[in-house]
Structure 1
Amino acid sequence: MPEPEVREHVLDGARGALAVHEWPHAHPRRVVLVSHGYGEHAGRYAGLAAVLHRHGAAVYAPDHLGHGRSAGERVLIEDFEDVVGDLRTAALFATAAHPGRPVVLVGHSMGGLIAARYAQRYGDDLAALVLSGPVIGGWALPGRLLALDEIPDTPISPGALSRDPAVAAAYAADPLVWHGGMKRPTVEAFARTLDTVARGGDVGALPVLWLHGEADPLVPLPGSRVGVTALSGGRLTERVYPGARHEVFHEENRDEVFADLTGFLDGVCQA
């Protein structure tokens, strides 16, 4: 089956140009927004977008501030509320093209933190929230890094992402991926936003799907569980994959993950 067409739009973001990827669908059943993780970009979600597109979705995914083809110093985020605002800009752009279609938000890792905050602010406009390996709850890394006089220039290990060696190789060779260490203002913003989300209340009746690799070394499952449980208003569906690492959409068992995702969407939004 041929891959769906992808388009790129440039919108006005909070701090400059916001690049938004679109996998267009002429007559979508739903609109899906994808919020990518730290140091990467929306183009890495082409496989997920293709699955969602075949399942009847128009898919939109911004490159976050300081990531991909969007404006900003690389991986510098001083206030995640700016990024939530950019995601809102992308959402309004998508819904203007497809009025009346239910909107689903999918957030991975850092993108899960952004998605959680978005759902707290704009959850009434969502039909469902999907969190994949989300940075939420008891994530210890910011505290450890901020306790150091100097944050080490240590990149993410490609092998932490997936058991599939092709995923690691593609990540390591991707020029739009950040291959350096974290920047202190970004780590400080992570810490503040984790606290903001923890204090921001649950998302009420919004259906939530939580996907997590049991062997995720970057965002350990127990800490995420604390945050996801608090965020969910009770309509939580959980899928934990034995042996899987951080990027379940790129894991060896990705077909199982995609089936769980599309089955969930069919159950919660019938349009």
Structure 2
Amino acid sequence: MATNGEVKAEKPPPNFWGDMPEEEYYSSQGVINSKSYFETPNGRLFTQSFLPLDQKVKGSVYMTHGYGSDTGWLFQKICIRYSTWGYAVFAADLLGHGRSDGLRCYMGDMEKIAATSLLFFRHVRKSDPYKDLPAFLFGESMGAAATMLMYFQSEPDLWTGLIFSAPLFVIPENMKPSKVRLFMYGLLFGFADTWACMPDNKMVGKAIRDPEKLKIIASNPRRYTGKPRVGTMREIARVCQYIQDNFANVTAPFLTVHGTSDGVTCPTSSQLLYERASSQDKSMKLYEGMYHSLIQGEPNESADIVLSDMREWIDERVKRYRPK
């Protein structure tokens, strides 16, 4: 009890759902969760799996989070929902994020970062329980850009389909890094590449429409809150252009979803992918008035619309493309 007029600060709960033990929480959600580290030549990845508690697995999904986030906290709500639909879900904190190795939120080589996550995803996808089942890559926001790089790095037919939520393939004008600033830092011959000194443009506030969920997301103890690093912004700009130049090389079935009021990534990202991809089976959903974080940051009734569309799409592709 506080005395002498002092107010004792309450210790925040260890998880967004409160103090309930993790195993009990996941069981209440209908999933089995496991956590482990995966060793790679580029550093350790923190990984999670979410398996259906009491139903047969009909496919596997490999999920990548967005910039500054991780596979825990609210992102795992996406993993849990997919698992309750009958999918084995695997997720890895990107290098430089969450509990994986690497300088916090430094994305100086996204090809390597994507390849590192792909090592884990491919390892699981080719393992005995999942090698003969349909398999999907899922990427949210900047994680969608990393996911697209994984797709380009993969052998043909490794993935049954791709799912993108508010993908970062085109940078909005107000979010683009200053070419002059990047040029000036570039004169330092890479010395400034890791500096956290680029404008952050208050991205979190532009991503979340539900104010209560904004509070929860902001309380994530592993969320990166510093300014973007020079090399990160340089590399994101390069990768976005690279992906745009290679949209025609996308041949896998895909679903891309975007909110029309997204203030972090352009809906043009989804539109250009849909228009230019060579895939014969491609789908796009635009949600009027929704923000960037379509599942974690929208009111429940809006998020449920997005999830319903995702479930309908993936279940149909499992029926359509599963091995005979």
Equivalent residue of 2:295, what SS?
Answer: helix
Matched, 1:134 2:134: no
Percent identical pairs in the alignment equals 21
**Which range is displaced more, 61-70 or 135-144?**
135-144
Count of residue pairs brought into register by the alignment: 271
Choose from 251, 258, 261 the match for 2:310: 261
In the other structure, the counterpart of 1:11 is 38
Equivalent residue of 1:125, what SS?
Answer: coil
**Which range is displaced more, 218-227 or 11-20?**
218-227
Choose from 274, 287, 290 the match for 1:244: 290
CA RMSD of aligned residues (A): 2.2
Equivalent residue of 1:177, what SS?
Answer: coil
Normalising to structure 1: TM-score of the pair?
Answer: 0.91
Gaps of 5+ in 1: none
Equivalent residue of 1:107, what SS?
Answer: strand
Equivalent residue of 1:17, what SS?
Answer: strand
Structure 2 counterpart of 1:29, one-letter code: K
Is the 8 Å Cα contact of residues 49 and 90 (structure 2) preserved in structure 1? yes
**In structure 1, what is the Cα distance between the partners aligned to 2:274 and 2:69?**
23
Is the 8 Å Cα contact of residues 270 and 284 (structure 2) preserved in structure 1? no
In the other structure, the counterpart of 1:50 is 80
Is the 8 Å Cα contact of residues 105 and 126 (structure 1) preserved in structure 2? yes
**In structure 1, what is the Cα distance between the partners aligned to 2:58 and 2:249?**
23
Shift of 1:63: 0.2
Structure 2 counterpart of 1:265, one-letter code: I
Superposition pairs of residues 108-187 of structure 1, within 5 angstroms: 108-122=140-154, 124-137=157-170, 139-140=172-173, 143-148=176-181, 151-154=197-200, 156-187=202-233
Normalising to structure 2: TM-score of the pair?
Answer: 0.77
The C-alpha deviation readout for 1:106-126, integer Å capped at 9, x for no partner, is 101101111112222225211
Matched, 1:22 2:49: yes
Shift of 1:229: 3.0
Name the larger-Rg structure: 2
Is the 8 Å Cα contact of residues 172 and 264 (structure 2) preserved in structure 1? no
Shift of 1:263: 0.1
Structure 2 counterpart of 1:113, one-letter code: A
Is the 8 Å Cα contact of residues 21 and 62 (structure 1) preserved in structure 2? yes
Shift of 1:204: 4.8
Equivalent residue of 1:194, what SS?
Answer: helix
Shift of 1:192: 1.9
Shift of 1:223: 4.5
Equivalent residue of 1:144, what SS?
Answer: coil
Choose from 94, 97, 105 the match for 1:64: 94
Structure 2 counterpart of 1:163, one-letter code: R
Gaps of 5+ in 2: 1-26, 186-196
Pair 239,75 (structure 1): closer, same or farther in 2 beyond 3 Å: same
Pair 166,8 (structure 1): closer, same or farther in 2 beyond 3 Å: same
Pair 140,82 (structure 1): closer, same or farther in 2 beyond 3 Å: farther
